[in-house]
Amino acid sequence: MTYLNLESDWTKFISPGAVFTSEIVSDANAIDPVGLQNTEEKRDSETVQSIASNETEECEKQGKWSELPSLPLKKIYSFLRRKDQINMSLVCRSWSEGYGSPSVWKTFRFSLQESQVLMDSCPVLKFVEKYSSMFRHLKINGLCSENKHLVKNWCRHFVELLQNLTRNTELISVEFKYFSYCLTHIDTPTYNYICRSIADFLASQHHLKLVEFYLCPFEYQESVNLLRIIIENSRESLEHLKLRDFVSDENEDSNAAKKLPMLADLPSLKTLETDYSFIFENMVAGQSTAIQAVKNFKTLVLSKLILYNYSTYSEIEDFTGLTSTNWRFMKTLYPNLQIELILTVDSAARRAFEFFILPNMPISHLRYSNCDFNVGTEIVVLFDHLLACKTNEHLVYLKIDWEEPTQHLSSTINPFLHACKKLKCFELFMYNTTSGVDVLLESWLENRPETLEKVIIDILYLHNGNDIPDWNNINDYVSLLKLTGLNIKIKYKGKI
């Protein structure tokens, strides 16, 4: 038998490429799919029997690392990747026992390599069988492959994982990510089997605080069903919910929509991050019923809504659309609500921002951009609309694309910036122009927006040649503004 030599620096037995992190993670990608099958048998069947007398004497001089107290031992484990934790667990019995402690297995990531997916018996699942009762945070990454055989195998391993967790685990958080390829390249029976397995798993969890779906596009009926199950079983505990690319089709199922809960059915929800979808629209539109039905309703705690939209003009027309009255009810139910709106528009820019930005929306963060260059952002009309909706009363952060060359940058932007009562950070993206930037910065030397603390101007300049118009003036004004206390940066992309 080969023994590891204990030296004063315990890190010498750790692989040179070890990455330290504050989170304890079991990453299937970090586990050797062949050697892993023998690891557990080694640990269970072998005990380090003795160390040669000279090694024992040296160990005693160095303070007997095998007698390291459990708290420092757990801390050391927390810094290591899974394969380094395995190496550490083979040093001695005491360290092996530390490997099996709940703190090591608090967070588990299921992310398989292709070599592991191809195996009939996935080695990672041996760890799940043994330690899943200790899991509290689960992170599942789908397989990004168009190979149908690989996808089918991955689905089999994934279902086995969920079945084990359904029996043995009480989780605090669960994250599903990157299922697009898997859900696209499977047949209907397999898709239905996957959906049932996820539904059964979620139904077994009653204390979830965080649930996240990212790039997991289910059909509308399955999306509604999964959301309903989450709310029914973790109603009182759920604090953070993320639904990004959660619905694959754009056609609302009226029968499924009737089963959709309202946001008020989640009394502990603090953060909701979602795309603008039929699901979101229906959950918000139903809030008026919640106010009318409950006379003495409890103050709800939802304080952050992160709302995304990348829709084209035709897709907007498919929605019913929320109203300022809907948002007034939302403000009544959630008095501390702040909205972060990430809005990417196409050539129908005006139609888009008039649809999504309405009175009574407490928008604290706004990111406004185009999906194509030079499509016409109608900036003046946008600012007029923001003022009409009183968005300036809530706005703390504004990022905006300015792709139209203009000498009137200052006269267009400044009136809105000065009207904002809370704005602290302003970011501006400009494409192939610096026109008007120097005039804007000069105006701030004389009359800077009162609350503005940070400015970032990002310039993508792709013209041939090395000269950027007004560049010397811009640099001079940046230096002067920094002396006044403004945190300002100019970023460049392209040749200068």
Cα–Cα distance measured from residue 6 to residue 63, given in angstroms and rounded to the nearest whole number: 11
Instruction: Please report the beta strands in 194-303, taking only residues with DSSP state E, as ranges in sequence order.
Output: 210-214, 240-244, 271-275
* 3-class state of residue 387 by DSSP: helix
The mean pLDDT of 135-156, rounded to a whole number, is 93
The top-scoring range by mean pLDDT among 29-33, 404-408, 483-487 is 483-487
Structural domains present in the chain:
66-104 (1.20.1280)
* Alpha-carbon distances of 374 from 143, 371, 378, 426, 459, rounded to whole Å: 37, 10, 11, 21, 15
**Rounded to the nearest 5°, which phi and psi values hold at 40?**
-65, -40
pLDDT for position 434: 82
Measured CA to CA, the distance from residue 235 to residue 299 in angstroms comes to: 15
- Confidence (pLDDT) at 377: 52
Could you tell me which residue, 244 or 468, shows the higher pLDDT? 244
DSSP string of 234-249, one letter each residue? STTT--EEEEES-B--
Q: How many helices (H) and strands (E) does the chain have?
A: 21, 14
Percentage of the chain modeled with pLDDT above 90: 48
Predicted confidence (pLDDT) at residue 276 exceeds the cutoff of 80: yes
Per-residue pLDDT, averaged over 440-447, amounts to 94
The answer on pLDDT for 203 being more than 90 is: yes
User: 34-38, 246-250, 473-477: which has the minimum mean pLDDT?
Assistant: 34-38
Vertex 140, ends 138 and 144: CA angle to 5°?
170
Q: What confidence score (pLDDT) does residue 69 get? A: 61
For 301-320, give the DSSP string: ---EEEEEE---HHHHHHS-
Residue 285 has pLDDT above 80, yes or no: yes
Confidence at 235, pLDDT banded by 50, 70, 90: very high
Rounded mean pLDDT, 327-349: 89
DSSP 119-186: SSS-THHHHHHHHGGG--EEEEE------HHHHHHHHHHHHHHHHHHHHH---SEEEEE--HHHHHSS
DSSP state of 9: S
Higher pLDDT, 74 or 222: 222
> Where is pLDDT greater, at 102 or 323?
323
What is the distance between the alpha carbons of residues 427 and 204, in angstroms, rounded to a whole number?
A: 45
- What mean pLDDT is reported for the chain? 81
Which stretch of DSSP H or E encloses residue 112? none
Distance CA 430, CA 301 (A): 38
> According to the model, what pLDDT value does residue 317 have?
78
**CB contact at 8 A, 131 and 100:** yes
- The span from the CA of 104 to the CA of 24, in Å, is 6
- Predicted confidence band of residue 338 (pLDDT cuts 50, 70, 90): very high
- Between 47-51, 163-167, 203-207, the lowest mean confidence (pLDDT) is in 47-51
If you count them, how many residues does the chain have?
496
Q: Give the pLDDT of residue 313.
A: 53
> Angle formed by the axes of helices 349-356 and 379-388, to 10°?
20
The closest of 307, 249, 301 to 280, measured between CA atoms, is 307
Please write the tens of the pLDDT for every residue from 108-121: 999 998 888 988 88
Residue range 436-457: mean pLDDT, rounded = 94
Q: 185-199, 311-325, 427-441: which range is least confident on average?
A: 311-325
Strands 454-460 and 26-27 come out as unpaired
The pLDDT score that the predictor gives to residue 75 is 64
Q: What is the mean pLDDT of the segment spanning 126-140?
A: 91
pLDDT (0 to 100) of residue 153: 93
For 129-143, 341-355, 463-477, which range has the lowest pLDDT when averaged over its residues? 463-477
Percentage of the chain surpassing pLDDT 70? Answer: 72
For 41-88, write each residue's pLDDT tens digit: 444 444 334 433 454 455 455 456 656 666 666 666 666 666 666 666
Structure tokens at 491: 């970023």
CA 32 to chain CA mean position, Å:
28
Instruction: Give the mean pLDDT of 188-207.
Output: 96
- Distance of alpha carbon 325 from alpha carbon 395, whole angstroms: 20
